[in-house]
Amino acid sequence: MARSRLVLLAAVGGAVILGLIAWYVLSSGKSGNLETTGSTSTTATDVSSSDMALGSPKAPVKVIEYGAPSCPVCAHFEADNFEPLKKNYIDTGKVYFVFRVFPINGDADGAAEGLARCAGRTSVDSYFHFIDLLFRNQKEWDPEYNPPDVHAGLLMMARIAGIEAEADPCMTDKANAERINNVAKEATARYNLNATPTLIINGVVEQPGYIPWTTLKTMLDAALQHAHK
């Protein structure tokens, strides 16, 4: 099953507290593998100026991935799919790809996304490189793996990326927390989204969970064929 806990970030008084506001439990497991080719609903696909995106906005297929830096299934999905997705679809102008953080561990995911946004100040590629760094090193910082110190683990990631000096302000940025909160609330209200990873392909909300590359490729090719009709 896909990771199914939703944690929103709330502002209380003048400070932003990354805490548990809503928790949806779809299964007894924390994460797992759900292979899918079906879809659950259809809606418009809007991309905002605050989104981190790769490829051409004019691409015939728009893919929005809702994921969480602390989601092990998301890390597995990214490790297996991102490179061929970028090489064969994003870089060739077929897919416009957007990644949005949908927090499942509020404080950790908020801090991780804050660091990624700071890393991404130089370029969008730097943002995605940092997300990849987080995924590949989840055991160092992810609460899912019970590391000795989540904060210290995230500082290690910041050190590797060369942003250690600004790490703490990035992790506690109120604007970042508010943006994540708004993204999560919109995704829940608009797409009935409650698990990660979830893909929105040209407005079609796919079943959440791990998707192998062969299945994802079939889905993308079908979307391309439909877009060209």
Mean pLDDT of 120-149: 97
- Mean pLDDT for the chain? 85
CATH class of 9-227: alpha beta
In this prediction the pTM is 0.83
* pLDDT value at residue 229: 80
pLDDT reading at 151 higher than 80: yes
* pLDDT value at residue 117: 98
Locate tokens 């604007």: which residue? 175
Where in the chain are the domains? 9-227
Lowest mean pLDDT among 14-28, 111-125, 152-166, 168-182: 14-28
* pLDDT value at residue 45: 58
Percent of the chain with pLDDT over 90: 77
pLDDT tens across 197-225, in order? Answer: 999 999 999 999 999 999 999 999 999 99
Mean pLDDT of 65-90: 98
* pLDDT value at residue 124: 97
pLDDT tens across 6-35, in order? Answer: 444 433 333 333 333 332 222 223 333 333
